[in-house]
Amino acid sequence: MSKIKAVISSLENTVEILPSIVREIPEEFRKRRPSPEKWSAHEHACHLAKVHPMFFERLNLMLSQENPIIKPYFPDVDDAPNVLINTDLDVALERFASDRKNLIEKLKQLSAEDWQRTANHEEYAHYSVFIMFRHLSLHDYLHIYRIEELLLKKDWN
C-alpha cells in the first residue's frame, strides 16, 4: 500500500508546485516558445489541466469494465492547433486544482483490488489503475520540469 500512498502524495503535491513555478515566469515570457515546435510554459501548464477529464474517463472505464481498451492520446494529433496557447492560464490552473482535488478524493476511496484493475492500452505491454496514476504523476513532473527549464533559460531574462 505504500506505493499507492506515494503516488497519491505525488499527485497532491503538484497542486502547489505547478502554479507556483508558472507564476515565477514573468507574464511576458509565459507564452514564449523556445522553438516553433516546442511548447511554452503556458502550454505545458494548460496541458496538465486539459488531461484530467481523460484520466477520470479512463478510471471510470477501468472500474466498470473488465480489461477495457484504452486509446492513446496524442496532443499534436488529437487537439486543435494552438488550443493550449489560447487557453486562459488562470482558468486552467483553477480547473487543474479543482480536478486534482476531486481525483485525489476518488483515488483515496479505491480498494487495493481497484488499484490492480487492468486495461489494454494500445501503447503499453501492460496497464493498470496503479500504472495509470503513477504515469500521470510522472507526466506532471515531466511538464513541470519543462516549465522550470524555460524559467531558468539564461537568454530569456
pLDDT at position 99 over 60: yes
pLDDT of residue 52: 93
pLDDT digits (tens, 9 = 90+) for 101-128: 999 999 999 999 999 999 999 999 999 9
| 79 vs 83, higher pLDDT | 83
Q: Which residues contact 61 (CB under 8 A, 6 or more apart)?
A: 68, 70, 119
CATH number of 2-156, picked from 3.40.250.10, 3.40.50.300, 1.20.120.450, 3.20.20.70? 1.20.120.450
pLDDT at position 1 over 70: no
pLDDT digits (tens, 9 = 90+) for 54-64: 999 999 999 99
pLDDT of residue 78: 74
pLDDT of residue 76: 80
Which region, left, alpha or beta, applies to residue 126 given φ > 0 means left and ψ of -120 to 50 means alpha?
Answer: beta
Among 121, 141, 109, 104, CA closest to 58: 121
pLDDT digits (tens, 9 = 90+) for 135-151: 999 999 999 999 999 99
What is the band of 157 on the pLDDT scale with cuts at 50, 70, 90? low
Residue 58 DSSP SS3 = helix
What is the band of 156 on the pLDDT scale with cuts at 50, 70, 90? low
| 156 vs 42, higher pLDDT | 42
Domain ranges across the chain: 2-156
Tell me what the pLDDT averaged over the chain comes to.
94
pLDDT of residue 45: 98
What is the band of 12 on the pLDDT scale with cuts at 50, 70, 90? very high
Cell of 92: 486552467
